[in-house]
């Protein structure tokens, strides 16, 4: 009756969400596109809940092919609602693990997802799949056909990528494919990585786009001889650095050498001698592990006009779990000069940092 009322009078007797959804489905059955679009617009203006958002997400699949385009804006609005609702994914982890497939896909599509790293995204996806698809064959199928495209493998750590190759939940061919693609991306220079991130072929699932990670990704070059050594590259955007003022800090993802985990941290802190704000860089050792290491370290940064890496600070430190060492004023300038538009340390808006580590296990006394 409501459909006839709309067709002849362009009005609705009861524009509640339930009535609108029922009318939309009836209009789809009889292919009344104008009514579908009208209901879709009204539903977008109604307060949305997680339950209603789940229903709207499924509409393009339930509607006739010719009518699916008319409900796509409503499905897109539902996707944005769920992405925003579960933006802090670790805070709502239990709820996220109980989401239906369309819901978890909407959450994972968010570039602004607040999470430690893409490694953590992978762990959540795997946990969700094991809960909802306990049978291995079904789990492999859903990971391959739906969920893997929402994991940004190129932004995962090499340590985690190695584990994917032996992860039974993934089809071996798929595991090899995503790991090879990730490693090839990591081998590209920064300008090429940024180009790939905005390429039309890659933009659909944003697989090369960084999220709002708590821990910044790093690139690592490991050397085994003559002594265990690694070179770690960390890039920070100018706006990221500006947001550190007056007393903020940002951490890198963990990297491993000699069986021990380390990390870099960039700080806006106070120069102890001159009492002005400045940029500091520190090397920390994770608490896990009982070993003690003597570390030769050197910090450097790309600097204009040559844009080559220039050594800024070097030293030696005996690490124990949880300790950190570094330099409070890496560039020897005040904060305002460091972030200024004519700063020699930002190249195309990016601060390029390098840390070289050589580790020697200490002898017991």
**What phi and psi, each to the nearest 5 degrees, are found at residue 312?**
-115, -30
Stated as kind and residue range, the H or E segment containing 45 is helix 33-45
Stretch among 15-19, 248-252, 266-270 having the lowest mean pLDDT: 15-19
Report how far residue 133's alpha carbon sits from residue 131's, in angstroms, rounded to the nearest whole number.
6
| Domain coordinates in residue numbering, the chain | 1-85, 87-204, 215-359
- Which residues have a Cβ under 8 Å from the Cβ of 289 and sit 6 or more positions away? 259, 260, 261, 321
Is residue 21 predicted with pLDDT exceeding 70? yes
Q: How confident is the model at residue 37 (pLDDT cuts 50, 70, 90)?
A: confident
How large is the C-alpha radius of gyration of the chain? 26
| Paired tokens of 31 | 């292919």
Least confident stretch, 81-85, 204-208, 350-354, 361-365: 361-365
**How is 143-183 classified by DSSP, letter by letter?**
IIIIIGGGS-GGGS-HHHHHHHTT-TTS-HHHHHHHHHHHH
**Pairing state of beta strands 255-257 and 215-216?**
unpaired
**Strand, helix or coil for residue 299:** strand
Q: For residue 215, give the 3-state DSSP assignment.
A: strand
Instruction: Kindly state the average pLDDT of the residues 117-138.
Output: 97
pLDDT recorded at residue 63: 74
Q: Is the pLDDT of residue 4 over 50?
A: no
Q: Which residue has the higher pLDDT, 23 or 54?
A: 54
| Highest mean pLDDT out of 2-6, 172-176, 324-328 | 172-176
The DSSP element (H or E) to which 107 belongs, if any, is helix 101-108
Q: What is the pLDDT of residue 8?
A: 43
List the one residue out of 200, 246, 210 whose CA is nearest residue 350: 210
Mean pLDDT of 254-277: 88
Global pTM exceeds 0.85: no
DSSP 285-298: E-S-S---EEEEEE
CATH number (1.25.40, 1.10.10, 3.30.160, 3.40.50) of 87-204 reads: 1.25.40
Residue 178, by phi and psi: left (phi above 0), alpha (psi -120 to 50) or beta?
Answer: alpha
Check if the beta carbon of residue 154 is closer than 8 Å to that of residue 113. no
Strand partners, 115: 213
**Chain-wide mean pLDDT for the chain?**
88
Say whether pLDDT at 362 is over 80.
Answer: no
Residues 290-314 have pLDDT tens digits of 567 789 999 999 999 999 999 999 9
Taking residues 238-267, report their average pLDDT. 92
The span from the CA of 268 to the CA of 310, in Å, is 21
**Position 289 pLDDT exceeds 90:** no
Cβ-proximal residues to 290 (8 Å cutoff; 6+ apart), any chain:
321
Band the pLDDT of 161: cuts 50, 70, 90. very high
> Between 25 and 268, where is the model more confident?
268
Residue bearing the bigger pLDDT, 109 or 65? 109
- Residue 146 tokens, joined: 């739906």
71-122 residue pLDDT tens:
899 999 999 999 999 999 999 999 999 999 999 999 999 999 999 999 999 9
Question: Is the domain defined by 215-359 classed in CATH 3.40.50.300?
Answer: no
- Residue 205 pLDDT: 66
Q: Which residues contact 73 (CB under 8 A, 6 or more apart)?
A: 40, 41, 44
Least confidently predicted of 76-85, 224-233, 354-363:
354-363
């Amino acid at each position: 009756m409501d459909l006839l009322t709309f067709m002849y009078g362009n009005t609705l007797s009861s524009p509640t969400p339930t009535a609108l959804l029922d009318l939309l489905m009836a209009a789809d059955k009889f292919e009344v596109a104008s009514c579908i679009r009208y209901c879709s617009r009204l539903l977008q203006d109604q307060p949305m809940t997680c339950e209603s958002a789940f229903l709207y997400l499924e509409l393009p699949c339930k509607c006739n092919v010719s009518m699916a385009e008319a409900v796509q804006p409503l499905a897109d609005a539902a996707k944005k609602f769920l992405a925003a609702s579960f933006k802090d994914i670790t805070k709502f982890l239990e709820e996220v693990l109980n989401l239906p497939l369309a819901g978890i896909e909407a959450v994972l599509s968010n570039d602004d997802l607040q999470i430690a790293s893409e490694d953590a995204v992978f762990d959540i996806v795997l946990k969700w799949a094991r809960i909802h698809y306990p049978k291995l064959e079904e789990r492999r199928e859903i990971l391959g056909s739906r969920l893997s495209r929402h994991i940004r493998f190129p932004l995962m750590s090499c340590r985690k990528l190695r584990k994917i190759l032996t992860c039974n939940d993934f089809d071996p061919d798929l595991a090899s494919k995503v790991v090879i693609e990730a490693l090839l991306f990591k081998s590209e220079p920064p300008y090429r990585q940024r180009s790939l991130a905005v390429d039309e072929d890659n933009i659909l699932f944003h697989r090369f786009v960084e999220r709002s990670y708590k821990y910044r990704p790093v690139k690592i070059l490991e050397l085994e001889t003559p002594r265990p050594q690694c070179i770690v590259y960390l890039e920070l955007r100018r706006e990221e650095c500006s947001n550190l003022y007056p007393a903020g800090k940002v951490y890198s993802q963990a990297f491993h050498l000699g069986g021990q985990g380390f990390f870099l941290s960039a700080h806006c802190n106070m120069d102890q001698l001159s009492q002005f704000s400045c940029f500091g860089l520190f090397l920390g050792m994770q608490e896990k592990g009982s070993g003690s290491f003597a570390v030769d370290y050197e910090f450097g940064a790309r600097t204009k006009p040559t844009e080559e890496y220039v050594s800024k600070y070097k030293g030696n430190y005996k690490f124990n779990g949880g300790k950190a060492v570094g330099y409070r004023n890496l560039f020897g300038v005040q904060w305002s000069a460091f972030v200024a538009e004519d700063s020699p340390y930002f190249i195309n808006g990016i601060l390029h940092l390098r840390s070289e580590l050589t580790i020697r296990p200490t002898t017991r006394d």
